[in-house]
Structures are given as C-alpha cells and as structure tokens.
Amino acid sequence: MRVDKSGTPQRNLIVDGEFINPTVFTCKENSIFTQQPNSTVIVQNGSTLKLESGSTYIIKDGATLLIKENSFIETDSCSKIIIEGNGKLIFENNSNYCINEATILDFEKGQENILVEGFYGVCANSIILNQVVPENIQLLKQLRG
C-alpha cells in the first residue's frame, strides 16, 4: 500500500510544480490498523501517516512500514506502535518523524525492529528512536505474560 499524493488537483496555487496536496492517512481514535505478514506500507512524496490518541498501528512479522524522503509519521500521546517478530519500521534519508513521548512503543525485538538510513528530521518533544533504551520499549513477551 502507498500513502502518496492522489494525482487529483486540489488547490489553485502551484506548489513544487504541482496543484496536488500530499496525502494524510489518519488512524482515528480507538482504531486499529494491522499490516499483514510480509506486507509493505510506503509513505512517500511528502505524505503523512498520523496516529491519533488511542489508535494502534500493528506491523506483523516480516512486514515493513517505510517512511520515504520528505514524508512523515506523526503520533499523538497514548497512540501505540506494535512491531511483531521481524517486522520493520524504516526511515529513509531525509524522512521525518514526530513520535510523541507518550506514544507506546511495543517492539518485540527492540532496536532490531527500527532501521534509520542517513539523516532524518525530528519534531520537538519527540522520542529519538535510535536512542531508545531497551527498558523504555515494552516487549510483547512482557505484555502477553
């Protein structure tokens, strides 16, 4: 699945040579979005994946969420990102994230589930993903007890 510009003109003024706005894919409060095993979701061309408070985004074993250059992932407090097994959250060079410090990160393999390629933008009051210490990541084994 791609979160991308629609290709449909949506404004009167040209920006970056286009009349098209980037797409914002929003997981609303109390919603759950599940990526199936070995699937890929790509956020590209300035688009945004937004998790509202109370929403959950699940990346199943072998699935990949890829945030491409100039694109964004943004979370509100009390949203949740779960990565199972060998699922991956990948940030390409010049991608951006705003992971609220009250977002629940539930990564089964901890730092192994995150790949940061090159430079990226981080919003104020955001978790620095490549500096998250293991005790701040809730492991699925602990939650499932």
Residue 109 has pLDDT above 80, yes or no: yes
The span from the CA of 98 to the CA of 121, in Å, is 8
Phi-psi group of 20: left, alpha or beta (phi > 0 → left; psi -120 to 50 → alpha; rest → beta):
beta
pLDDT band at 96 (very low <50, low <70, confident <90, very high): confident
pLDDT band at 143 (very low <50, low <70, confident <90, very high): very low
Segment 36-47, tens digit of pLDDT = 999 999 999 889
Q: What percent of the chain has pLDDT over 70?
A: 70
pLDDT score recorded for residue 2? 74
CB 96 within 8 Å of CB 121: yes
What's the whole-number mean pLDDT along residues 6-29? 68
Element (DSSP H or E) covering residue 142:
helix 140-144
Element (DSSP H or E) covering residue 40:
strand 40-43
CB 123 within 8 Å of CB 101: no
Tell me which DSSP letter residue 56 carries.
E
Q: Would you say how long the chain is, in residues?
A: 145
